[in-house]
Amino acid sequence: MSGSCAVPLCLPNNCRWDEQTGEYSKAGGERQSLYVVEKALERLRSIKGPVCVVSIAGPCRKGKSYILSKAFDQGEVFPLGHFLDPETMGIWMWVVPEKLKDASGQEFTVVLLDSEGIDAVTSDGSDDHCIFTLTILLASVLIYNSAGVPTRTDLDGLDFILKLSQRIQLHSSDSTASALQQNEDANHFHKTFPFFIWLLRDVVLALPKDCHNIKEYFLTRVFNSSADSKGEVASKVAESILNFFPGFEAFKLPPPSSDPEVVLNLNREEVQGDVNKSFVRGVEEFKGMLRSKLTPKRSFRDGEYVTGEALAALVNIYVEALNTPGTVPSVQSAWETFVHTKCSEAKAIAMQIYQSAMSSQLDGTLPRESDEIRQVQQAAIEECMVRFQTETAGVSALSSEKYLDELTEHMENGLKHWLEENNRLTRQECHKLLRDLKEQHLDPILRQLSGKDGASVTFAQIIGGYSAIEQGFKTHSRGAKDVCAQMFYEFHPEMQKEMEKHMAHLQQLKDFDETLALEREEKARQEQERRRIEEENARLEEERRTKEKEMELLRIKQEEDRRRLEEQFKADMEAQREQMSNMMTANMDELRKDREAIIQQNQTLKETMEQMHQSMEQRNAQMIELQKQIIALANRPPPPPPKGGCVIL
């Protein structure tokens, strides 16, 4: 089917959907579980950045599919049913192509979820509210669509809202959470639950005089417990709506037409002229109100937003929980599972990038100067940190820090490995070079010294041979400079052994000068020490640079987190105030007081900021320590000259 139609996100096991033809059929058999459609997940994963999920739920055959696509001018993306049987089964998804921005300028993608009628399954006597539960878990805005204005007694039929407290867990704890825990959780649902909009269709009756709008009517008549004393379930349902959801709005639409032909074909071009003007106006007003409620979907953790990819992961996790008897989906553990998976994946991808960047630059090129290897390392770090950052967009610094530390450690170990390999190859090559140079420049003189014309050899000639080795080594040695210097220094005892064999002859030479030889060796020793310190310095410097990169990335993330947290906090406060005023109007004073107490305890923003601050302080301390080590190394006094016996060369 073309890309202009919704795809099922999740279907009951007795429904089939053909990806190729887009055909959907009811296969029969008992409904036992739900399954997720991969095609829809693919679409979700392709959404970059945050999503806002607008879901619609409510009784069957009440124009849900129609209004959802109409509210976003999306044409007929959700198929409408024109028969008495329920049309939509499971949850169908459409991604609005045009991106929107919230008040702070944050861009987001709107995902529409059209769900089956709430009574589609319950009509056969079962108590399956999995689809409704899933809709709540996934939505940022929930449109509850029903016909006519409900009375207080109608609220009794909405006990599935009440039951959400048993069907959803906010915090992860074992599946047999106590009633007390459930209650405690339910008091915090509003932090992740969607904004609740009650949309009433085919409303013909006028509002009572003392009600300015349908929302006021709801709060003062339908939700108000003082209206009657016996409606226990109704009271609880009303309280749950205001308590579980972060905001409440109500909206009414008149009937589209009195002509059944027009109503049935509401989507057809040819009947548009016959649609009631008041309905068309109402739909336009509804669109405006709905838009004002659209914000990126909040995750369990403040400051982290739900991306298309995150939503795809959550769908899988929630559906699996809903399909497992005795398991209740947990918002916290689902989010933590996603964050863990995402960060682990990002780390693995970054590690792969690091490995191939290093190998492509270094394989077959060793031995070479350690600084060159460090430059390659820095470029590789740069590349993989950028990738790690893009992969973990939306995940806070606090959540990704651990994985970033592991990644940094991996790269530091990687560098260690490359440097060690480089040292080994440097040693191997220097060893051979020194042997060749000695053979070429010193051995012929020594042979001459012990030969028949040994008397013609001068000590200056021997020193010349040494200088030729030194020069040749300087010109041709490759690899880590400290290792080269060390190899050259370590070559002296070997030469000394050789010299000792010729001691008798040497001492007879007119210009034999022991101090000159000693000076040569001391020079080599100092050179070795200098290179060693340089190397140590470069190592610390490299460590500092890497830590600085890591800190820079975390700082960028934290800055983002701080901005988002502050915005969320502001929006939260506003929503809380509004909802408390709703509670007051609905005469739910107890509930309002409870909420007030929760707000008082709400320390999240402060705590998160504090944690962020602490982690940065720790990293700063590490940097200061590194800096101290670098300074101490630079100011280290020169090493004492070696003690020991007579050195000839």
Q: Which residues bind Mg ion (CB under 5 A)?
A: 64-65, 87-88
**DSSP symbols for 601-620:** H--HHHHHHHHHHHHHHHHH
Q: How far is the CB of 330 from ligand GTP (least distance, A)?
A: 29
Q: Which does 433 bind (CB under 5 to 8 A by kind): ligand GTP, Mg ion, none?
A: none
Answer for which of 87, 302, 309, 429 binds ligand GTP (CB under 6 A) is 87
CA atoms of 530 and 523, how far apart (whole Å): 10
Question: Interface with ligand GTP includes 312 (CB under 6 A)?
Answer: no
Between residues 55 and 558, which has the closer beta carbon with respect to ligand GTP? 55
**Looking at 15-23, 76-84, 96-104, 129-137, which segment touches ligand GTP (CB under 6 A)?**
76-84
Q: Which stretch binds ligand GTP (CB under 6 A): 158-166, 253-261, 536-544, 603-611?
A: 253-261
Distance CA 185, CA 174 (A): 13
Binding residues among 587-606 for ligand GTP as defined by CB under 6 A: none
At 647, the amino acid letter reads V
For the CB of residue 254, give the shortest distance to Mg ion in the complex, in Å: 20
Size of the site for ligand GTP (CB under 6 A): 22
Residue 160 CB, shortest distance to ligand GTP, in Å, is: 15
- Options 16, 26, 48, 82; binder of ligand GTP; rule CB under 6 A: 82
- Using CB under 6 A as the binding rule, whether residue 201 contacts ligand GTP is answered as yes
255 lies in the binding site for ligand GTP (CB under 6 A): yes
d(CA 649, CA 399): 61
Among 55, 88, 377, 528, binds ligand GTP (CB under 6 A): 88
- Assess 266 for contact with ligand GTP (CB under 6 A): yes
Q: What is the DSSP letter of 260?
A: H
| Footprint on residues 463-522 left by ligand GTP (CB under 6 A) | none
Closest-CA residue to 44 (of 104, 110, 137): 110
297 binds ligand GTP per the rule CB under 6 A: no
**Binding of ligand GTP at residue 6 (CB under 6 A)?**
no
How many residues are listed for the chain in this entry? Answer: 649
- Segment contacting ligand GTP by CB under 6 A, of 165-173, 259-267, 379-387, 515-523: 259-267
Least Cα distance to 465 among 489, 488, 445, 486 occurs for 445
Q: Is 551 in the site for ligand GTP (CB under 6 A)?
A: no
Q: For ligand GTP, which is the closer residue by CB, 49 or 81?
A: 81
CB of 84 to ligand GTP, least distance (A): 9
Contact pick of 61, 129, 252, 374 for ligand GTP (by CB under 6 A): 61
Closest residue to ligand GTP in the complex (CB): 63
Token pair belonging to 352: 């792969």
Q: How many CB atoms lie within 10 A of CB 7?
A: 22
- Asked if 129 is part of the footprint of ligand GTP (rule: CB under 6 A), the reply reads no
By the rule CB under 6 A, 252 interacts with ligand GTP: no
Contact 46, 308 (CB under 8 A): yes
Report if residue 305 touches ligand GTP, rule: CB under 6 A: no
Percent helix, strand and coil across the chain, each rounded to 5? 60, 10, 30
Bridge partners (DSSP) of residue 142 are 55, 196
Provide the β-strand partners of residue 143.
Answer: 56, 197
Cα 624 to its chain centre, rounded Å, is 29
Nearer to ligand GTP, 61 or 525 (CB): 61
Query: Of the candidates 1, 5, 80, 275, which one interacts with ligand GTP according to CB under 6 A?
Result: 80
Give the residue, chosen from 62, 129, 297, 427, that forms a contact with ligand GTP under the rule CB under 6 A: 62
Q: Give the type of residue at 624.
A: I
Strand pairing partners for 108? 100
Compute the least distance from the CB of residue 87 to ligand GTP, in Å. 4
Does 86 sit near ligand GTP (CB under 6 A)? yes
Per the CB < 8 A criterion, the answer to whether 341 and 313 are in contact is yes
Closest CA to 299 of 604, 615, 37: 604
Nearest-approach distance from CB 202 to ligand GTP, in angstroms: 5
Does position 143 bind ligand GTP by CB under 6 A? no
Ranges of H-type helices in 363-511: 370-391, 397-441, 443-450, 459-476, 481-501, 503-508
Using rule CB under 6 A, residue 144 touches ligand GTP:
no
146/568 with CB nearer ligand GTP: 146
* Residue 64 touches ligand GTP, criterion: CB under 6 A: yes
Q: Please identify, using beta-carbon distances, which residue of 262 and 315 lies nearer to ligand GTP.
A: 262
Could you tell me which of 157, 81, 114 has the C-alpha nearest to residue 10? Answer: 114
- Amino acid making up residue 92: W
Exposure of 51 in the CB half-sphere (CA atoms within 13 A): 28
The CB-side HSE value for 434 (13 A sphere, CA atoms) comes to 19
Q: Rule CB under 6 A: is residue 66 a binding residue for ligand GTP?
A: yes
Omega of the bond leading into 367 within 30 degrees of 0 (cis): yes
Grouping H, G, I as helix, E, B as strand and the rest as coil, residue 130 is helix
Stretch that binds ligand GTP, among 78-86, 535-543, 579-587, 595-603 (CB under 6 A): 78-86
* Closest distance to ligand GTP from the beta carbon of 66 (Å): 4
Neighbours of 431 (CB within 10 A): 13
Residue 231 near residue 568 (C-beta atoms within 8 A): no
DSSP string for residues in 186-250: HTTGGGTSPEEEEEEES--SPPPTT-SSHHHHIIIIIS-GGG-SS-HHHHHHHHHHHHHSS-EEE
Q: Is 60 in the site for ligand GTP (CB under 6 A)?
A: yes
> In terms of CB distance, is 7 or 419 closer to ligand GTP?
7
Any contact of residue 12 with ligand GTP (CB under 6 A)? no
The residue ranges that bind ligand GTP (CB under 6 A) are: 60-66, 80-82, 86-88, 117, 201-202, 253, 255-256, 263-264, 266
